Every structure is written in structure tokens, then in C-alpha cells.
Amino acid sequence: MTLTELKYIVAVARERHFGRAAEACFVSQPTLSVAIRKLEDELGVTLFERGGTEVGVTPIGERIVAQAQKVLEESANLKEIAKQGHDPLSGALRVGVIYTIGPYLLPQLVPRLIESAPQMPLLLQEYFTTRLLELLRQGEIDCAIMALPLPDAGLTIQPLYDEPFVVAVPKGHPLASRSHVKAEELKSETMLLLGTGHCFRDQVLEVCPELSRFSATTEGIQRTFEGSSLETIRHMVASGIGITVLPMSSIPAQPDDRDLLRYIPFEAPVPDRRVVLAWRKSFPRTAAIDTLIAAIHDCRLNGVTMLEASAQTA
């Protein structure tokens, strides 16, 4: 029995699919399947019910997977406990961040941490929320900067800031001269949204129900285009292809008059998202987490409201 095999069974239990689990673990499906079969033979039990479109977990498999998750978390803490005995700010802090936060927070955050904790370099990874949660559970990252809601439990959550959404339109668009816009007014526009998997896409569709209904129709599928990043979408909007919704931190604090875009606030109630820092409850380097939070609060992100709420368990 190895830690790698335990990672594989946790991934399959979560994904309910051998192919997706293999992709999440960065191995081929045959490699993962052989390792899991080997573990089942060693334990003398069947962990998964194979067949059909979805893999099921047997009752004994549920218990073993839960214990495997605990083993993975505890094994990740061994080196961290040793480091904490010397200096909790000594050694790299492995931080994950979602794609729609990283480009706007990290350029400010990294220099502040270099100044306040030079002995604690950041090892950064950008991924989707689901992948960051997997890395957290496996102990491959120490904490992650994401947006609520999180489809997970058992993590400690520290609210960081609330961030409003704004509408971005081409300079010559009929909405460009407006001081505010209603969400329902966007249903007749060609919307440019992030592709499936980006939590910001889900947040936009959730807080703007008119967009959600629109994108679910045949006409919406034809008129709604998807992009791979906010910056790609921003350039598409500037070229006049359509309009989009962006998080406030992605907007320049002082837009250039030569900018081909115009940014329009929503009418109240303004849709927004809450950005949080999440880490395992068993993670021992609390001083490192506190230092990271303090550095984030020192960042000057455009239009966001920094929060001082105490940490809570998800």
C-alpha cells in the first residue's frame, strides 16, 4: 500500500469516473486502474462498483476512502511540523489561486510577501476551484485563494474581500454612456462568458438570473460565446464582438481615455463574489497563514472591500 494508491482511490471516489480521476492525478487511466486493482487485491475487498457510466463506491470502500483521505492529510503535515519547530515562516508556502483572481492579486501580493517574509517564498499554482480542492485534500498545496461557494467541507475558511461585478462594453456600445445597468438588460446582448469549469462563469449566471435563463435557450447557445480567460474576453469585447461581466479587481483603477472599453456598474443590489483563503484544519503553520492574510489585506485591489472576519470551518 502506497500514498500514491491512496491518492488514486480518493480521486476515483470523488470523480466517480476512472478517466477523470486519472486526468486529475496526471496519470494514464490504465496506470490508475492497475494500481487500484492491486490495492483491492492487497486489502481483499472491492472498493468500487464498476460498470455503467458512473463508478460507485462500495460501503467498505466509503470507509477506506475516508481513512485514506486522513492518511494523506496527516502525511503532508510531517515535514510542516518539523519546519514549525524551527520557524513557521521558514520554507516555501504552497498557494493555489483560481484563474480569475491570480492575474490581479498576485502582482501586488508577491512583492509584499517578499518584503515581509523573505524566508517564505510562495510556490504558486493556478487552477480551477475543483482542482485546487483536490490538491488541498492531497496535501500538495498548503492553502488556496478561491471564491465562495466551495463544494467541499472540512476546510478552514478565512474571508478576504468582497468584490462587485461590472459590465464591460465596447466604447461605441449603446450602454457605454450609462451610469448604471440592470442585469435583465443584458439578456438581449451577445454575452462573452468564460467556459465551463470556471467558477466565475457560474457566479455570473447565478447572480444574473436573466443571463442564466438566456444562456439556457437555443438562441442563447447561438448568441453566447465562451472564452478561455478574462483577458481574452476583454480583447474580444474591445473588438466589438459582444459584452461581458468582469470582477472589479480586473478593471484599471484609472482607465485610459484611449481604452476601447467602457465599464458600467450594476444597479443595486450589485452582484458580487466573496474571495476567501482556505486551508486544511490540520495545517500546522498558522503563522504563515496569518502572514499571507495580512499581505493580502495590504493589497490595493480596485473596488474591493477587505474583510476582517475570523476564520470559520466550511
Asked whether 100 and 198 are in contact (CB, 8 A), the reply is: yes
Which pLDDT score is estimated for 258? 67
Contact 313, 150 (CB under 8 A): no
In this prediction, residue 221 carries a pLDDT of 38
| Residue range 163-211, pLDDT digits in tens | 999 999 999 899 999 999 998 888 888 888 887 778 888 888 876 666 6
pTM: 0.73
Q: Give me the pLDDT at residue 217, please.
A: 47
How many angstroms separate the CA atoms of 231 and 236, rounded? 9
| Among the listed residues 153, 134, 68, the one whose alpha carbon sits nearest the alpha carbon of residue 96 | 134
State the pLDDT at residue 310.
62
Q: Does domain 3-85 have CATH number 1.10.10.10?
A: yes
Name which CATH class applies to 144-285+294-313.
Answer: alpha beta
Q: Which residues of the chain have pLDDT under 50?
A: 216-223
pLDDT tens per residue across span 222-256 = 345 666 789 899 999 999 988 999 999 999 877 66
171 burial (CB, 10 Å; 0-12 / 13-18 / 19+) is: middle
Residue 308 burial (C-beta neighbours within 10 Å; 0-12, 13-18, 19+):
exposed
Q: What pLDDT does residue 87 have?
A: 76
Domain ranges within the chain, ordered by starting residue: 3-85, 144-285+294-313
* pLDDT recorded at residue 222: 39
Task: Name the DSSP class of 245.
Answer: E
Confidence at residue 219, expressed as pLDDT on a 0 to 100 scale: 47
